[in-house]
Structure 1
């Protein structure tokens, strides 16, 4: 028997712009996007929430944005050199501010009557071990049982990547397992060439940023998703599309 392949198509940056909101919901309505990540403090989050509440089957997670605390701005601006930033992350005051900000954003999400399917972070900053630990602590405390994880580290557009060593990856996986937090086995970033035919067995997350207008790379994601060839390949390959919520609610592990 051919091993099962499950794919979460997760749209990041919901709430960042009207164009992104339109692109994400259009891809959802076409049955392609299966989950999403909301920037609760995004300038167009209210617009996104209104649309979410009109679509009860729409899955949405919390896209924690810690960029201001790190001195990060778009496009690719970092106030501190990476060694200085890593040094800052080990200071107790930084821990307190990050914990407070995570709690603030999660509270804002919940107060709007939304149920989080998962948690991830803007620009993958939970790839830094210090932030990872604080995020997992919040997830455990709040009963959020799914999130994004990559044992290979995280590539960032226009800025230095966030590497994850094999030792760090093993530690992170152990922490997630002990806390009962589930995650896809593989993270696929369309910034790099990939083939649906080569998606491995188990659960994968395809992280996308679809947008109807705006940044060219976001438009490219949107065009990829709505191309009829994309979904026809998914069907031909027998890939099962799921959400983070379905990953958690499955009566048996999806492997």
Structure 2
């Protein structure tokens, strides 16, 4: 058995600049898959690009932390602030136990249905399901998302647990997980999941280490390439780091190593073949 690798770029549809970076990371780098957001400014542009890029797998990126919901805000009150926007409290990034603590299951289900309807009606062949800011790892989000994946017969991103201690948060050990950590009824997924950050000074070395040590079987490497356009700084604080990741993902040394290692690159739509 050879090492099979999915390199998935999150946030497709966030802005046209992010979309353009993801397409470049696919055409000139190692990205094989991406995840489409339903409620963001670049959605229509992302759908247009995906239609002319059939080799790029496109999944559904469920989002409850960015922008304005697709449901009427008054119908999902636990998910939105007084302006009708999703809550995004930066404090939860240091205390994951607080993330979504007040979200009601019925509100989650309603917005999930609205976002899934828009993505599924796009005409694209959806390859898998995952989530923004890894919210699928919250039990009250995981349950309806896994149910949707099983109903639609789609793979779902590998689920891990949020960090329990400050040390785990600093070392990011929680972002490296294997199948042994999964619920027994988890939808079809990869055997391993790696979410690392390639915008850092040692980002290229990090990616090369991952590629050099891939085990046989299936692995997903998660990333966030993109270009900064005039829209992005107004809706995200994740800006220049996307361009740094794009540079790493298209680096010649990464391409050369991938060929030398004989890695088979796939997307989620090929996972069960």
Native 8 Å contact 1:40 1:63 kept in 2: yes
Q: Does 1:98 align with 2:113?
A: no
Task: Select the residue among 177, 184, 195 that pairs with 1:189.
Answer: 195
Distance 1:102 1:163, change over 3 A: farther
Residue 126 of structure 1 and its aligned partner are, at CA, apart by: 0.5
Structure 2-normalised TM-score? 0.74
User: Which residue does 2:122 correspond to in 1?
Assistant: 112
User: Which residue does 1:204 correspond to in 2?
Assistant: 219
User: Which residue does 2:136 correspond to in 1?
Assistant: 126
Question: How many residues matched?
Answer: 228
Distance 2:163 2:41 in 1: 25
Residue 220 of structure 1 and its aligned partner are, at CA, apart by: 1.6
Distance 1:88 1:239 in 2: 43
Residue 4 of structure 1 and its aligned partner are, at CA, apart by: 1.6
Q: How well do the aligned residues superpose, as a CA RMSD in angstroms?
A: 2.9
Distance 2:47 2:101 in 1: 37
Q: SS at the partner of 1:60? A: strand
String of CA shifts for 1:101-159, please: whole Å, max 9, x gaps: 11111111111112210000000001112211111111222222x1111445479xxxx
Distance 2:10 2:43 in 1: 12
User: Which residue does 2:235 correspond to in 1?
Assistant: none
Residue 221 of structure 1 and its aligned partner are, at CA, apart by: 1.2
Distance 2:111 2:265 in 1: 32
Distance 1:142 1:163 in 2: 31
Q: Extract unaligned runs of 5+ from structure 1.
A: 251-255
Native 8 Å contact 1:5 1:202 kept in 2: yes
String of CA shifts for 1:63-102, please: whole Å, max 9, x gaps: 000126275328x3559x755656535xxxx111101111
Residue 59 of structure 1 and its aligned partner are, at CA, apart by: 1.4
Structure 1-normalised TM-score? 0.79
Distance 1:50 1:77, change over 3 A: farther
Runs (4+) off by over 6 Å:
160-164
Q: SS at the partner of 2:193? A: strand
Residue 242 of structure 1 and its aligned partner are, at CA, apart by: 0.6
